[in-house]
A = this chain, B = another copy of it.
Amino acid sequence: MSVTHPAGFVAAGAAIGLKSTGKPDLALVLNQGPTFDSASVFTSNRCKANPVLWSEQVVKDGVVRAVVLNSGGANCYTGPEGFQTTHQVAERVGELAGIAPGDVVVCSTGLIGLVNDRQTLLDGVAAVHARLSPDGGDAAAEAIMTTDTVSKQVVVTDDAGWSIGGMAKGAGMLAPALATMLVVITTDAVVPAGDLDAALRAATRVTFDRLDSDGCQSTNDTVTVMASGASGVTPTRADFTAALTEVCRSLAVQLLADAEGADHEIAITTVNAASEDDAVEVGRSVARSNLFKAAVFGKDPNWGRVLASVGTTSAAFDPADLDVAMNGVWVCRNSTPAEDPALVDLSERKVSVTIDLKSGDAEATVWTNDLTHAYVHENSAYSS
C-alpha cells in the first residue's frame, strides 16, 4: 500500500501510452488533508530536467497537494516546449483535483532528450485521476518503474497512531546527492513544513546521499514528502526523523538491491576517520573505482584496489598505516598483507568492506554495486 497507507492520501497508476511496452507509466498521489505541509529535495545536477525546474518553484511555500509522475520520458533537455508540457500537466491535475497548479509537483523519468506527446500526457492525467483510490499505492509504485524489476515500497507505523509510507523508483544513475530516483513519501502525522524539511534533509543525508551505484548523477531526482495531518497526532521531531530515516533507508536498500545488472550489494564502511566527511569521501572513492567493482564481480578480494582509491582522497590518514577488511577478514593491516585473501568468500550477494583510517572516531557507510557484464549490457544495448 505504501503511499496510501497513511490516512488522507489517495493514489493511482495507469498505462497511458508513453511506454512502448504498454506498461503503466503515469502515477498520481493526492493529499486530501487536512494539512498540506511538504518538503522536497532535488538533484544537485546543474543540468536539471523541466519537471525539476517546475517543482523547485512549487515546493518553495512548503505546500504540496499532489505529485504526478510519469515514466517513459525524462522531459529533460527538451527546451521551452518541454517546460510547457510540465506546466500543463500540473494545470490539468489542478483542474481535476480542484487545487492550484502551483501545489502540484511534477516528476518525470526515462530517456533524456525525448519529447513526450503532450496530449497523451494530458489525457493520461484524466485517466489516472479517475482511478484515485485509498488502495492505489501499489499501482502508483508500479507506474513509476523504468528498468526497475520490482516496485519499491515501505511503510513504517508508530504506536502513537501515525505512519509513514513511501515509494521509489530507480535502478541506474544512482549516485551521490540522489540520482534518477523518484521518491514520494506520505505521512498522516501532523508535521509543519519546516520540521518536515529538517527531518527530510537529515534522513536523506545518511541514506540516499550515500548510495552510489554507478557514480552517475541524474537530472531528474526528486524526493517529496507530504504530511496530511489526518492522524491528528504530532510526533516529536526525534521520533519523526527516526521513522523518516528508516523509510529512506529501506527504500535506498531496495534501490541498491535492484540496481541495473548488479551481482553484489557492497557496503563500504570507513571507521576511525577524523570526520564524517572524510569517511564519506573515502567510501565514495572506493564506490567509484571500476577496478574494485569489477574485482568484486569476479569474486576477487582485491584490497590493493581499495587502497589505491583511498589514496586519491584528501581524508586524514597515514598511507603506511591503513587496515582493510572484506567480509570481516582483515586482509590488510598497517598497509601490508595480513590475513589470507582466500578466506574471503565473495559468493554471497552482500559484501562488506571496512577501512580503518586510525585518525579519529567518525564513521560512515557508502553503498554501491559491483561492475558486471549485465551492467554494461543494460547500458549499452538500450538507451535510457
- Does A7 belong to the interface (CB within 8 Å)? no
- Check if A380 sits within 8 Å of B294, measured CB to CB: yes
Q: How many copies does the complex hold?
A: 2
- Check if A376 sits within 8 Å of B379, measured CB to CB: no
- Check if A290 sits within 8 Å of B219, measured CB to CB: no
Complex Cα gap A236–B291 (Å) = 42
**Which of A377, A380, A382 has most chain B Cβ within 10 Å?**
A380
- Does A308 belong to the interface (CB within 8 Å)? yes
CB distance from A7 to the nearest CB of B (A): 38
- Check if B332 sits within 8 Å of A113, measured CB to CB: yes
Q: Say which residue of B79, B111, B304, B307 sits within 8 Å of A304 (CB atoms).
A: B111
- Check if A115 sits within 8 Å of B379, measured CB to CB: no
- Does A359 belong to the interface (CB within 8 Å)? no
Complex Cα gap A110–B305 (Å) = 12
Contacts of A295 in B (CB 8 A): 379-380, 383
- Check if B113 sits within 8 Å of A47, measured CB to CB: no
- Check if B294 sits within 8 Å of A375, measured CB to CB: yes
Contacts of A290 in B (CB 8 A): 214-216, 290, 371, 375, 379
- Check if B217 sits within 8 Å of A112, measured CB to CB: no
Contacts of A375 in B (CB 8 A): 290, 294, 376
Q: Which secondary structure characterizes the binding site on chain A?
A: loop
Q: Tell me which of A15-23, A62-70, A91-99, A333-341 binds B.
A: A333-341
- Does A249 belong to the interface (CB within 8 Å)? no
Given that A288-B215, A290-B214, A309-B216 are known contacts, is A115 also in contact with B79, CB under 8 Å in the complex?
no
| Contacting residues of chain A (310-352) with chain B, CB-CB under 8 angstroms | 310-313, 319, 322, 332, 334-337
**Which of A295, A372, A375, A379 has most chain B Cβ within 10 Å?**
A379
- Check if A112 sits within 8 Å of B383, measured CB to CB: no
Complex Cα gap A379–B293 (Å) = 9
Given that A112-B304, A298-B380, A305-B216 are known contacts, is A335 also in contact with B291, CB under 8 Å in the complex?
no
CB distance from A280 to the nearest CB of B (A): 17
Of all A-B residue pairs in the complex, the 8 with the closest CB atoms, nearest first, are A112-B304, A298-B380, A47-B311, A294-B379, A79-B336, A45-B311, A46-B311, A294-B380
Known: A47-B307, A172-B291, A217-B308. 8 other contacts (CB 8 A): A47-B310, A74-B304, A76-B304, A214-B290, A219-B307, A294-B375, A294-B379, A371-B379
